[in-house]
Structure 1
């Protein structure tokens, strides 16, 4: 068995050499790895350099493009431009500058600006250049100079620094007359195109030379379609040769013409235009041209037609109105005045009971009734006849070539029949009818005023005769109609000056149980100068009601009553005042509000007033009556029903009315002690009043036995000449102050 030694043995030569090689290989690998890392870093650096190079090339390319754009803008600028250094050397110029200074661009760019200017201009430029050289660079600097070339052509120079440079940019504005004229021509062309009116320029023969944009918009023709052609291609044919002869005559003599005419568009449409033409003579060649400006006035004509329709036609019914009628009457009278012309007839139509429709069903339904009435009237007359609505429910018919009663009777009978037929509106049946007055030319008048007035007067005669009939004017009644006309004029004078004409009188109403005590005062209308005017109070009130003027008169009367009430307050006299109301007043829905306003203005308590309404008036439009009287009672006022027993009120109607007292009519009081029937009627009325909890006032008490009987019967108050006659306010005020009447 062999033996092994445990001591270290020395390496052999081969082993040593192997180890050295391994070390060398490791070192080489490490060196290779280091070189690879360095190579990778170099590659990255090369990539970054390449990217930077690409960006640099892109920026350089953009800079070159910007320079090209700037250069192009510089060269194409509408103004002459130079680039100068601070000594005035021209570094660059555009074509406009070369033209302005009359030099080739390459020559101009080797020139100093100073050499191009006059001696006078140098005195302005040189100090500026010196200042720019001596002052710090300021990019915001802008200098404006007025200079001139060596040939004295003026121009405006603007100097400013170029960005990022010490060079100056010079802008040049030519101020010579030639340049200004060129600019003016350009401005004129621009203005011509901006005009909203069409413009057409022709030679002396009417051949179109130029148009503007508005011409094309209005006519539809483009410039190439009309230039070189005669302006007659626009003619519509509406104007004849004489029209154009007069137009050319005006142009030859005055050099201008203006007027309205009709022309034709390209599409064939005929339209109205307002045309103005002026003649122009070219100063050098003495050639004549004509300039026409025009506008389409279709909209204006439409608006005028609308205005004319509003002015001459009733907007509700579409019928001619009063203005149209008056013009038609003037024309008819002019024709009828000739020897061979026949007369004509005028009808005045007023609908009966139309007011009830408005009051009860409203104005909207009333308007529908009026429209149907207009259609019915128009259907009853000839096409050559004229039907006009002159206001409210009043119509007038003009019947040419009708001058005797027989055909008139046929027309009016047909009108009455058709208007009497019920009007069915919104499920309501309205029974109206009409009253018609007629007047002939020339028998009943030779002016439109006389004919209308007399037809109107005949219509009122038809109403007075019972309505739903017609009447022909009777010349024998002329004096009566003239008197009514005088009454109407007096009514207007009273309304215009109420303080002058209205003088209120007052009458006592005494307590029934104690005749020495005052119950109230009734206000009664009296008119100053009424005797001179030949009119009594009753006729005056009738004239007011006939002309529908009761509302303004009633307010004037109430204002006078309030003035006396304030005098009573100043004397510490507290008495109710009885104010009479008419049916026309009560039909106005604003009546209570207006009366309250007057009382407030006078400083009078509204609730101290008692308001009287006649029994007959109370039966007219019960619904409106109930509303108005109810409003008065809500204000604290008391309501009296006057002339009780003379109307046709039923107990049911009385029960529905908001009244506090009734006034027995004097016709019943007059029968006391003479007629037992009158006494029985009064007793029945008193019993009914007590049952309905109404107070009773007896009026017309003139004898002591009447007062005694009424007092015994239980009447609440008495009124009549037995106690006092009506007197003016000042007289009554003195009486009240001096006598103890148990106020």
Structure 2
């Protein structure tokens, strides 16, 4: 029998063993945390790094955090050229050596062995020579103390190798280092592939941008040319209008002509010269010059004007031509000297009417930097014909005007009395016309926005349909626009804010269409556009995209920022349409299809949509009747402890059995609710059911007295603080302990407006409500929800649970979230447990909470203990 001292000694040994085990466990946990951190950082690299040149140093840094990786390189096998590419190499000895090695030498080394065999290498100071000899590997460069090389694989194909090595006896590698590096290597391949894909995508975008820039420059040139043509056409129109005008004298007429000409070419100095009746004197009815402010009539001579009169041609004369004309005797020396001294550039064109030259119009510049071109000459020659005609018409008009003035003087005396008599009658007629015009305007326009109304739009649409039948090549299209959340804005901010919203929407849409297109308001939040004479149907889609983006921008209503959206249905006018109502009906059907696909988009009509719309309307009507009569079936299914089967809370949900279609799927149920605008009503219905259940349980003495009830809540209740406050007030008014209520929010819904949800969720948390993030992983699975939002529980999406234990990857994802939950103070619930294998796999990784038919099937409300009275 051992002595007392021996017994004490034995206890101390056991304690030492226990400490050793604890130290070993601590070291293992530390390496596990480092591995998880490395995987997380590698995953983050895929989203934060867009170039491979930045990726490999980042990977080197991550590897160096869990092991000594001072000497590190990554190499890839180039299958086309049968070479090895060292894409990243940091080595204190081998870096300059590798750059000088030939392809044949590299093919015998360690890297080539890993690439060809697909096996890893773990060389130590003690086994290096033996392994190199056994595997027939030639060592290139400095002999390392330790070396670990792992293959990089895409599926079963080896694409590269990653190697760390140490030249220091103090730095040795272990089997754990090898296992971690093997584990991390596959995640690195995925990250490299994603960065390569992003880099390729960005390169494609840059090339496409360059192409678009070139196209844009060509379009700008074409636009500039068209603008010049339009300017010329406008100038000719203005000249014609000027000649037809009876107002203003000839001096003002000539000044306007100068202004019009200055829009086409540089004309700081301009004059008009005409011949007298004997064709012996030059007269200047208009003269504007920055040097010579005045000029007198003069006899015909050898000037520039006379040269144009003699030749009968438009002429460009500058310093390079004046000497030649002077030598030929066409110009006098005085004129030539003046042009050379002032560096003149002169354009002159004859004014010809009915084949006879009546004068000259000329423009000129001073200085070497301002010269005319042959293009300017051609332009002046073309315009001068119109100017000559306009001058002749103006002179004739003035003559007629003078005659009319004389005649009117004689008539005025005789008509004064009649004028006074008719003055009152005219005033009455004008007032009546104004009233009639106002009535006509009001009958055809919307009183709020000032846009055309349904009557005017239908009239224009009927004309477009008739035009399409006559001119088949003309394109017309109708866009039916429906706004999101208009009713919510009206109900929460009032009708005044709703009117402001509609006016702003009308202004935004008007900026998205052309001047000759027609925008109308049919009523409520429905707008329609008639696009007239477009080139291709892609133009219609472009207009629809502009409208959607414009409406998606925030609105400031009564000092509050609100958001809306637009769903657009497009119906292209074809020859088969007979009436405007048919087109509007089909555009409306396409709009409903756009809303069904998720709103904020456009859909072009086809015939199948009308049939589908009729079915959806019937389904929506039946949904409303069922909600009004509270005929939905309520179910309860608990979330339980995996081992103890203790009830965490009872989830309350509803199902709908259609009289013809049978049981409606959950996704279709909520889709109908959203399209009907009844999501908040459904939430209120569910909250009422939950409060009734809790109130009933409070009167019982069984375990139900401590149960909590969970309901799924839509994000529409979180869009405004007012709705959140109403939730809290309802709970308080129902005399229900808020801690007994559990609100579940779908991750996919949160993704749409996550930046606006956090204040509302925190408000519910402060009120004492238990919060659950439902279907985690079904959407973007953003970790920001876990870090930023105060969720008490996180439900892993049932699709992840369904795939285990077959999918070890999903199992490891759940395990990773479990690790995170320990640090962020939330608990994980595995949803949708259906089999023994799923249950065993989840319990093996430490999952404590679950929900599903394997643990306990859902029950109808009337079948649950103590709740029969609620459904009576």
- TM-score, normalising length: structure 2: 0.43
Task: Judging by fraction of residues, say which structure has more helix.
Answer: 2
